Amino acid sequence: MTVLQKLEERSAQLQKDLEALTVNGELGSENVEKFNRIEAELHGVEGAIRDAKDAELDELRSAIAAMKKQGKGGAESDGDEVAFRDFLKGGVERVEKRESLIAGTDVNGGFLVPENLHAKLVEPVRAVNPILRMATTFNMIGSNSIELPVKATNGAVANATETGERTEQNAPTIDNSTLTAHDYYSDQRATQLYLDEVAGAESMLMNWIYEDIYEQAEKDAVAGDGKSKIKGLFTESYKSAKVKTAGAVTAADIMAMYFKLAPSYRANAAFLVNSDTLCQLMQLTHPAAAGTIPFVTMVGDKPYILGRPVEECENAPAIGTKTTPIAFGDIAKAYAVGIHKNTTILRDPYTATPKIRFYACGRIGGKAWDTNAAVLLSTEASA
C-alpha cells in the first residue's frame, strides 16, 4: 500500500469518527473537545494528501519533460506552436510552415489553436476557478456533445446457496445524460506595432482571450441556464436543504446540510460560497460550544467547516430571500465539464484598422452529473 493510499484511508476513518460524535446532526457539548482534536488531525492528513498528489504530478511532468529532451515527443507539436505564433503576429503570409495551420471547419473560419498550446492556456485558467478545477473534465473532440453514463438505480443483489439456482438481475439501470459544449467567443484587438515590437505579445494576447472566455464560463458554471451556455451548478436539481429561519443561515442549518449528503460522498466533499457568505459564516460558532469555538476553522489561509474545505466562488448567490448561497458536495462526481480541444482564432487586419482584430471561439459545456453527490442550501424556511 502506498503512502497516499494510507493517508486516504486515515482521512476516511477520521471522517467516520467525526460523524460518530454527532446525534441527529447535533454535536453534544461533551464531544466538542474531541471533535476539535479529530478535526485538527484531519486538516493535517488532508494537507499531506495534497502534498503527495502534487509530488506525483511533479514527477510525471518531469518524466514528460525528460522524454521531450531525448527527442521522444513534442518536436512536431512545438513546430505547430511556433507556426501559430507567427500567424498571430503577421498573418498567414509570414508563416513558413503553413501546413501546421489547420483551418477551422466551423462557420466562423480561422485556424485551430495547436493542442499543446491550448492545454498550456487552459490549465492555468482552470486552476483559479473552483468549479472548473474541481469538476470532472472531459476533453472533447469531433462532436460538440457527448453522452455521459448515469446510474439511475443501484444494482440488484440476490442471495443463493453455493449450488443454488441463480436468477438474472436486470439492475442497475444506466441512463445517459447529454453534455453539450457551447460556443464562447471573444473579440480582442491589438496594433501591428504592438505585435511586432513587444516581446511575447502573441502570448499575452492568447492569455487575454482565454482569461476572458473562462471568466464568463466560470460565471455560467455557477448560474448559467444551459440553453446556449453552461448549466450552472447552483441551478441544477441536486438534493436540497432548507434553513430554519427564512433569509438567514445558522451553524445548525449547515450541519443539517452536511449530514444530508450521503457518507460515501463526504470524504471528498467541499463547500462552495462567495466571499460575503464566507465572511458571515466565519462569525458563527459551534451550536454546542456556547459561543466559544468558531464554526469555520483556518488551517494557514484555508478555511474549513466540519473538517471539509471551503472554496470561494465569487459568482455564487448571496444569502437572501429564497436563494441558494451554499453548495456542498463531491464536485468531481456531482458536476461534469466538457472542453472541446478545437479553439479557433480568426485574424482580421481589415475591419478595425489600424488595429488587428482577433476573433476567438472556444467550446465549453457543463452540467450536473450525479445529482446525489451535492446538496444546495436554500434560504427558504423549512416547513
Give the tens place of pLDDT for each residue, 96-107. 666 656 666 555
Look at residue 266 in the predicted model and tell me its pLDDT. 92
The type of residue at 237 is S
d(CA 359, CA 361): 7
Q: What percent of the chain has pLDDT over 90?
A: 38
DSSP bridge partners of 201 = none
Average pLDDT over residues 361-379: 94
Predicted confidence (pLDDT) at residue 110 exceeds the cutoff of 80 = no
Look at residue 200 in the predicted model and tell me its pLDDT. 87
pLDDT winner (highest mean) among 73-82, 87-96, 209-218: 209-218
Count structural domains, the chain. Answer: 1
Q: Can you give the residue range of the structural domain that contains 199? A: 112-383
237 within domain boundaries: yes
333 within domain boundaries: yes
* Angle of helix 75-90 versus helix 201-223 axis, rounded to 10: 100
The type of residue at 187 is D
d(CA 43, CA 36): 10
Look at residue 61 in the predicted model and tell me its pLDDT. 60
Q: How many CB atoms lie within 10 A of CB 214?
A: 23
φ/ψ (deg, to 5) at 328:
-140, 125
56 within domain boundaries: no
Residue 230 exposure: Cα atoms within 13 Å on the Cβ side: 29
Average pLDDT over residues 251-268: 93
The CATH number assigned to the domain holding 333 equals: 3.30.2400.10
The model's pLDDT over 228-256, given as tens digits with 9 standing for 90+, comes to 999 999 999 999 999 999 999 999 999 99
Average pLDDT over residues 11-33: 73
Closest CA to 248 of 293, 283, 297: 283
- Type and span of the H or E element at 362: strand 355-368
Look at residue 56 in the predicted model and tell me its pLDDT. 67
Model confidence band, residue 335 (pLDDT cutoffs 50, 70, 90): very high
Model confidence band, residue 51 (pLDDT cutoffs 50, 70, 90): confident
What lies within 8 Å, CB to CB, of 204 at 6+ separation is: 198
Using CB atoms within 10 Å of the CB of residue 196, give its burial: 0 to 12 exposed, 13 to 18 middle, 19+ buried: exposed
Between 192 and 73, the higher pLDDT residue: 192
Predicted confidence (pLDDT) at residue 166 exceeds the cutoff of 50 = yes
Look at residue 57 in the predicted model and tell me its pLDDT. 63
What lies within 8 Å, CB to CB, of 285 at 6+ separation is: 251, 291, 292, 293, 294, 295
Look at residue 76 in the predicted model and tell me its pLDDT. 45
- Type and span of the H or E element at 193: helix 192-197
The model's pLDDT over 286-331, given as tens digits with 9 standing for 90+, comes to 876 666 788 999 888 899 999 899 999 999 999 998 899 999 999 9
pLDDT winner (highest mean) among 101-115, 159-173, 264-278: 264-278
What lies within 8 Å, CB to CB, of 156 at 6+ separation is: 169, 170, 171, 172
Q: How far is CA 130 from CA 1, 109, 188, 299, 323, in A?
A: 31, 32, 26, 18, 20
191 within domain boundaries: yes
Look at residue 273 in the predicted model and tell me its pLDDT. 97
Q: What percent of the chain has pLDDT over 70?
A: 82
Model confidence band, residue 257 (pLDDT cutoffs 50, 70, 90): very high
Predicted confidence (pLDDT) at residue 170 exceeds the cutoff of 70 = no
The overall average pLDDT reported for the chain is 83
pTM above 0.85, yes or no: no
173 within domain boundaries: yes
46 within domain boundaries: no
What lies within 8 Å, CB to CB, of 244 at 6+ separation is: 250, 252, 253, 381, 382
Q: How far is CA 177 from CA 150, 155, 349, in A?
A: 7, 19, 42
Predicted confidence (pLDDT) at residue 275 exceeds the cutoff of 90 = yes
Using CB atoms within 10 Å of the CB of residue 366, give its burial: 0 to 12 exposed, 13 to 18 middle, 19+ buried: buried
